[in-house]
Amino acid sequence: MKIAVVKEQAAGERRVAATPETVKKFKALGADVAVEAGAGLTASIADADYAAAGATVGDRAATVAGADIILGVQGPAADSLAGAKPGAWIAAGLNPFGERARVDAYAAAGFEALAMEFMPRITRAQSMDILSSQSNLSGYKAVLDAAAEYGKAFPMMMTAAGTVSAAKAFIMGVGVAGLQAIATARRLGAQVSATDVRAATKEQIESLGAKAIFVEKVAGIEGEGTGGYATEMSDEYKAAQAELVSAHIAKQDIVITTALIPGRPAPRLITDAQIATMKPGSVIVDLAVEQGGNVEGAVAGEVVERHGVKIVGHRNVPSRLATDASALFSRNLYNFLSAFWDKDKNAPVLDEEIGNAIRLTQGGKVVNERLLA
């Protein structure tokens, strides 16, 4: 059993899919591990550290030659994996909806592609969940990015020269990233409020010491669909939400948006007209910018200014904390493979529930129902 860890090729990707810690653990399971030279450098891991953990380090061709399982943070190009075993697994964040052509290429090349972001949100898979581990870091970093762009302080400070008032921060979308953003903004001393379409988040917001801002008077709102994810809301709800947000947002200094709906473009939460009501110098961070954006005018990969308000649209926010993001991502992959490890076969054997959820391609075909629907 050979596990190959490839160096990421995507622009701006600084993470790596294994660390010396997980290499050691894979070795202890009975696997051989090969790491592409330089794979860890942008996450501050030297080739020598992988070698010391028991991996062989070489070029791409040597790394993937004879591999049974290929690990990546993002999906490697199918044609860069020549020499891997027929039917080899590719386990990575594969962006199946956004990179459909690459999924087809995996099928054509005979790989079994496993999309780690399709991991079901069930208790036993929590430790394998890359969306959670990476979103948590994104929520934290979004607040720091906002603080760095903001020309004022977050906490209230009483000084001999006078008082500095606390920043008001509003978090829109309270999933994993939003919860961490609330906690981080609170730690920095901001007055924090938050909103979501899922009623269950109200208690979570309040338990973190923030104020919950919710649409109350629209009948029949639930907001929660399958797997604990949000659903697309009714037009009546959207209108009520827009009104509520308009009134609240004009008083905010910092807004962090994190709202996503699986398989759909991100919902638009803030319009240009609403931005115009905010105080100059305020900062908005749009964590959904790569999925279409929650904020009108946000540009992926840029910090733009509208009506004196900065709109931060960094791409790939977890990669901005590459060392911790890599450590958690790598553990997710290890936890996944080790949970299914069959000692006799010296290979992982997936069960139906998780296998069917994450497997995109098998036997030369695309097999995942979310892609076939």
Summarize as ranges the residues that interact with ligand NAD (CB under 6 A): 121-123, 125-126, 129, 131-132, 135, 172-178, 195-198, 228-230, 233, 258-262, 267, 269
For ligand NAD, which residue has the nearest CB? 175
CB neighbours of residue 279 within 10 Å? 13
CB of 135 closer than 8 Å to CB of 176:
yes
> In whole angstroms, what is the distance from residue 368 CA to residue 357 CA?
7
Catalytic residue among 80, 104, 127, 229: 229
CB of 103 to ligand NAD, least distance (A): 21
Q: Is residue 36 within 8 Å of residue 60, measured between CB atoms?
A: yes
**What whole-number distance in Å separates Cα of residue 57 and Cα of residue 33?**
9
Query: What does DSSP say about strands 361-362 and 365-366: parallel, antiparallel, or unpaired?
Result: antiparallel
140 included as an active-site residue? no
Closest contact distance (angstroms) between CB of 173 and ligand NAD is 3
Catalytic residue among 14, 15, 129, 326: 129
- The residue annotated as part of the active site, out of 74, 132, 204, 274, is 132
Catalytic annotation present for 334:
no
Among residues 6 and 254, whose Cβ is nearest to ligand NAD? Answer: 254
C-alpha to C-alpha distance for 17 and 373, rounded to whole angstroms? 30
Residue 327: CB minimum distance to ligand NAD, A? 18
Check residue 148 and report its DSSP letter.
Answer: H
The C-alpha atoms of residue 210 and residue 203 are separated, in whole angstroms, by 10
State the minimum distance, in angstroms, from the CB of residue 254 to ligand NAD: 17
Structure tokens at 55: 């991996």
Backbone angles phi, psi at 58, to 5 degrees: -160, -170
**In the annotation, is 126 catalytic?**
yes
Catalytic residue, chosen from 80, 121, 186, 338, is 121
Specify the pairing of strand 32-36 against strand 56-58: parallel
- The angle, 0 to 180 degrees and rounded to 10, between the axes of the packed helices 176-187 and 130-149 is 40
CA triple 98-99-103, angle to 5 deg: 135
Antiparallel, parallel or unpaired: β 168-172 and 254-257: parallel
Query: Which residue lies nearer to ligand NAD by CB, 20 or 267?
Result: 267
Q: Is 129 known to be catalytic?
A: yes
Among 59, 100, 124, 126, the active-site one is: 126
Q: Cα 178 from chain centroid?
A: 12
286 in catalytic set: no
Active site positions, annotated: 121, 126, 129, 132, 229
